[in-house]
Structure 1
Amino acid sequence: MKLLTRNEELEPMQLNLGEKPDKYLHHTTVYYDHLKYGDITPFIKLINSLKNNGDINNSRCSCTINFRKYPKEDGKKEFDYDLIRNWVQKLYERIPHFFYYLTEIDTLEPTRNIFLSMASIQFYQVNGQKVENIVFFEEETRQIALDIYKTTIAYEKKIHGANSRELKETLERVLRPFL
């Protein structure tokens, strides 16, 4: 079976991040076909492209993952969908340090939603309607958060020989409620 993929090559968007005015934001678009077939190649291609271009040292906190054209339901967030949860979990199995690359530019929500796609969660139901409060299975989720933190920090240390304040602060903002 041949996978139908729709890879969009977006030009990197130049950001002005204070001390790093030449940092770029790299986008990965994940479409329904990727989700349906568990195809993580869009993000793998982005990471390989950064490595092959010698840009791996500047790739920390510079990538986004955008989920597009999947069947959406009112009131659901990205982490509510099994297709997205399965895709993110598969990515984590392949690249356990992928949070090294993710940014929180504009808003923390997309990166936190990616983490929540890995968390052990359940929702309260009231009269058959989902309520916004999420119950986390604390022990399982805390272990996932710790594993993400440790593997990401270890990967950065391997690449740079030290850990940056930027990455630690990003991880702590994403994972703080769960550690």
Structure 2
Amino acid sequence: MTANKDLAYRFNLGYQTNRTFQEFGGDERLFVAPSLRWNISDKTTSTLKVEYSDIKQKGNGTVPLMGDRPAPIPRELNLGDPWNLQEDEYTMVSLNTEHAFNDNWKLRHRFNFSNHELTMTGQNVDGNWAPIDPLVGDITRSFFAQNIDGNDYIHNFFNSVEVTGKFNTGFAKHTLLMGGDYYRSDSRYT
């Protein structure tokens, strides 16, 4: 980004969409990951990274069992519903800073924050848990929902500071590592 290369960036982007052989099924995936590196001095660097992913899956259905075999239904038949949805959204921010006091002693600080939200709704066949009754052909269906109000989350916080030093005592060479970590997780599920 700059002529002296003190600032550098990287941008990763991925997108994928898939259809499935089953009715009204498929998924869509988006991944974005920019990063910025700052060479503050010849001894200090700091890197900021962001990752975002959003995975949406629609209409996933299962094939029920008849006895110990898959039921003889058309391959494309989806016994779920078209509004079955699973959305998995994830965001992570990290900041890593390193400083070299000299060739033997270094300080490193790392901070990470992540937010994860999973939303699911569905009406599915309980194929493997409640097989089709072969005498009457009945199947068991169940409804499942998670985070339909949009307020569920998992937040993770991580912080680490460490000092690494190399030194000799007589004929022995040593590498000393001192530091501390902090981790906290906060979540809400409905």
Asked if Structure 1 and Structure 2 have the same fold, meaning a TM-score greater than 0.5 normalized by the shorter chain, the answer is no
1 or 2, which has the higher helix percentage? 1
TM-score normalised according to structure 1 size: 0.30
Greater relative contact order (CA < 8 Å, ≥ 6 in sequence): 1
1 or 2, which has the higher strand percentage? 2
TM-score normalised according to structure 2 size: 0.29
Q: Rg: which structure is higher?
A: 2
